[in-house]
Homo-oligomer: A and B are copies of this chain.
Amino acid sequence: MVYYDAAETLSRVEIERLQLERLRASLKQAAKSPFYAKHFAACDFDPASVATLADVRRIPFTTKQHLRDSYPDAMLAMPLSEMVRMHASSGTTGTPTVIYHTQNDLDWWASLMARCMYMAGLRRTDVFQNMSGYGLFTGGLGIHYGAERLGCLTIPAGAGNSHRQIKLLTDFKVTGIHIIPSYALYLSAVFAELGIDPKSLSLRIALVGAEPYTEETRRRLEEIYGIKAYNSYGLSEMNGPGVAFECQEQHGMHVWEDAYLAEIVDPATGEPVPDGELGELVMTTLGREGMPVVRYRTRDMTRFLTEPCPCGRVHRRIDRLHGRCDDMLIVKGVNIFPMQIERVLMAMPEVGQDYLIVLERDGYIDNIRVKVEIRDEYFVEDMRQLGALQKRIAARLRDELLVTPKVELVERNSLPKTEGKATRVLDMRGNGA
């Protein structure tokens, strides 16, 4: 086994010793910021009181709202003049959240990202096309700096412009890409229109992230492109991409525990859930100097995988994301994650690349309607056959969801397409929902 960084070979004991040491330093650093000085005091928490990793449960949480309240810079633990980069959320749903980085922070982030890419099998000899939007969004520059650090020939393609993406992929014999899953599916349709088989490219490896997607979609992408697709997890509050990544086992994402402290808690109570159970991921930066963030409630639902990983790395793995706490739909009193619906649909060969979940209210009753794109070869004239397919999809969804959705079959390309993150849920129930 080859590793990029000696940190990957640490034992459990070494990781935990390092984590405790870095957690204590991080808390001390955080306390220098106006926000944490006040927050820790208000919660009667003394950073110096943390003596073991078990003490982490006594540290107060940080929420998205705290980040918003700290706008623009109350979480800075060092002078603004020491910062060299800023990333911000779009703020479309309120005040933006802003994360600052010093040069050391950027170096650390780039090396974590390079470590992820190396683990997925990329090397300095690879040609890597980054299809993320650049700018304030962390996916672009985050992946870019990692790819350059690793020494790949990095093509900063940015988002959109599918014909150009395909020209670059072809002409420069690109071997690795970073792409969001819905765009990868969309792009496969453009390849089909151009009459190019994506398997004829030099592509070996795709890094896939930025939106939740299912194992079934991954297998589809791997088949369409003739590649290995590796899941990536990151969030701007923890820098961006490079937080957790799949190794070549493709079974769960290793969290870099020398850089982040990960916990999984019950989203309702904030108490830790037993290892292996589903809960909300809570993350702490270990080593970010400019703007440490402590016990951040990510709202992302996942679980720790408990078995040792055959790759030899002991950094703990999290399961693929099950969506966000906030994504959970409640229909007829039943909790539903959109990912459950995607999992069912993508396992059926008749189903195309796209679907849309519509929540409706019929009088006092909530209904769930799923519009499902059907592959051309199954979109036959015979209404009886289509009717049978519709019933089969509805039955499988009912088995998974425990409520019966209305299923509507639609032709290819009839659902609204997007080059960015796909819209998968349309809630038509109005404000009362």
Contact = CB atoms under 8 A, between A and B. Distances in A.
A171 B73 CA distance: 10
A200 interface: no
B172 A156 contact: no
Interface in A98-133: 100, 103, 106, 124-125, 127
A331 interface: no
B141 A156 contact: yes
B155 A86 contact: yes
A88 B127 CA distance: 15
A100 B148 CA distance: 13
Interface stretch (A41-49, A77-85, A263-271, A368-376): A77-85
Given A72-B172, A81-B125, A124-B81, A134 B148 contact: no
Contacts of A155: 86, 136
A102 B36 CA distance: 42
Main secondary structure of the interface of A (DSSP, over half): mixed
Contacts of A158: 134-136
Interface string A135-149: 110001100100010
A172 B100 CA distance: 12
A422 interface: no
Interface residues of A, number: 38
A37 B312 CA distance: 49
Given A72-B172, A85-B148, A100 B153 contact: yes
A157 interface: yes
Nearest to A159: B135
Contacts of A125: 81
Interface in A196-233: none
A234 interface: no
Contacts of A103: 148, 151
B148 A106 contact: yes
Contacts of A182: none
Interface in A156-180: 156-158, 164, 167-168, 171-172
A84 B148 contact: yes
A127 B88 CA distance: 15
A85 to B, nearest CB: 5
Nearest to A147: B84
A314 B153 CA distance: 36
A215 to B, nearest CB: 31
A153 B84 contact: yes
Nearest to A130: B135
A357 interface: no
Nearest to A123: B81
A141 B72 CA distance: 25
A154 B72 contact: no
Contacts of A172: 72, 86
Contact of A140 (B134, B153, B164): B134
Interface in A52-96: 71-72, 80-81, 83-88, 90-91
Contacts of A86: 153-156, 172
B171 A156 contact: no
A152 interface: yes
A167 B90 CA distance: 11
B83 A153 contact: yes
Nearest to A152: B84
Contacts of A85: 148, 153-154, 156
26 contacts: A72-B171, A80-B127, A81-B124, A81-B125, A83-B153, A84-B148, A84-B154, A85-B148, A85-B153, A85-B156, A86-B154, A86-B155, A86-B156, A86-B172, A90-B164, A91-B164, A91-B167, A106-B148, A134-B135, A134-B158, A135-B158, A136-B155, A136-B156, A136-B158, A141-B144, A141-B156
